[in-house]
Amino acid sequence: MSQRNSKARPARPAAGKKGRRDAHKDAAGRVHLAVHRDPASGNERVALRSPVFREAWQNDVATAAANTAYAVLRGEPSVEGAIELARNAMEATSRLAAGLLARAPGGSVACRAGCDHCCHQAVGVTPPEALAIVDHLRTTLSNAALAHVARRVAERHERTRGLPSAERFSPDHPCPFLESGRCSIYEVRPLACRGMNSLDAAECATRLRDPEARAAFLAGGAGSRSFMEPIRAFHAISAGLQLSLSELFRLDMRPLELTAAVHLLLTGPGSLADAWMRGQRPFEPARGADQGKDPGLGEPSGALGLAPGRDP
């Protein structure tokens, strides 16, 4: 069945009292979202039950992302709709990150085309992001080019399968989509990549390629210098996307590892995406070696007690 045209309706949330629909609880018994219906107009909106982030603007962004997800999928949830939603989230993240970076003093952001130091690590993605990336590959590449990409992804997956993220941060493990220092899927690159920025490219290079500097960074004693607002923007949009699909549509939104997820979609059964849309867990083989169990909130920058840890 075609991924772009397949449609499957998951179980819908049960209606709650006073115009509110109860959301699905996560593994810890928490519920972050509620859907409210206006009795007069019948219009529905998604709201946070309580703040998720310390910064009010992050909570506003997360709420907006959740409302977009609800609007896109509530009529007739489908794989195609999930792909559309991922692309919307990608574009929104880029616009917001660009606007925030525009406020930085001129010349302070070190990231440039061809600078690929941050492209040698495990990258977390949600299922909709992985679906959008594979959809992009299948609709823009020839059969021969797609087969070439699939082989490269398979080779990278074989080399990195089962490695924890600390071991993945290495010049020996470039992203399978890195070509001559540039991202070959830049149009559909993951949300995490869109918030990434650095104030010192030399520092990035040393941290990646010098064993002692890399060990210090991984130990948590030497962080990178970045503008935090774009990173917090990515986390807010990602949180809204993940929470809405998990709590309101019962979809498995636990984080996946980019290489493993794309490899699974390119080589696995064609029904995989439909199975996910029906509420099953076909992406289990693409879970990272050190991922948590809850929908991918991980350690979002600026979060309020969603997980132990500190701001990156």
The pLDDT value given to residue 296 = 40
In this structure, is residue 131 part of a structural domain?
yes
Closest CA to 119 of 48, 168, 70: 168
Strands (E), the chain: 20-21, 33-37, 44-48, 124-125, 178-179, 182-183, 256-257
**Burial per residue of 22-46, b for 16 or more beta-carbon CB atoms within 10 angstroms, e otherwise:** bbbebeeeeebbbbebeeeeeebeb
In this structure, is residue 291 part of a structural domain?
no
Query: Total structural domains in the chain?
Result: 1
* Mean per-residue pLDDT over the chain, rounded: 85
Distances (CA, A) of 229 to 73, 111, 116, 117, 182: 29, 15, 21, 20, 24
In this structure, is residue 292 part of a structural domain?
no
List CB contacts of 30: < 8 A, sequence separation 6 or more. none
> Quick check: 123 pLDDT over 90?
yes
The pLDDT value given to residue 25 = 64
Q: Give me the mean pLDDT over the 147-168 stretch.
A: 95
In this structure, is residue 50 part of a structural domain?
yes
The pLDDT value given to residue 222 = 60
The pLDDT value given to residue 217 = 86
Share of the chain above pLDDT 90, in %: 65
pTM summary value: 0.86
Q: How many whole angstroms from its chain centre is CA 86?
A: 9
Q: What share of the chain is helix, strand, coil (3-state, %, to 5)?
A: 45, 10, 45
More confident residue, 168 or 299: 168
In this structure, is residue 235 part of a structural domain?
yes
In this structure, is residue 110 part of a structural domain?
yes
Confidence of residue 263 (pLDDT cuts 50, 70, 90): very high
In this structure, is residue 198 part of a structural domain?
yes
Q: Which domain holds residue 102?
A: 20-286
> Quick check: 68 pLDDT over 50?
yes
In this structure, is residue 41 part of a structural domain?
yes
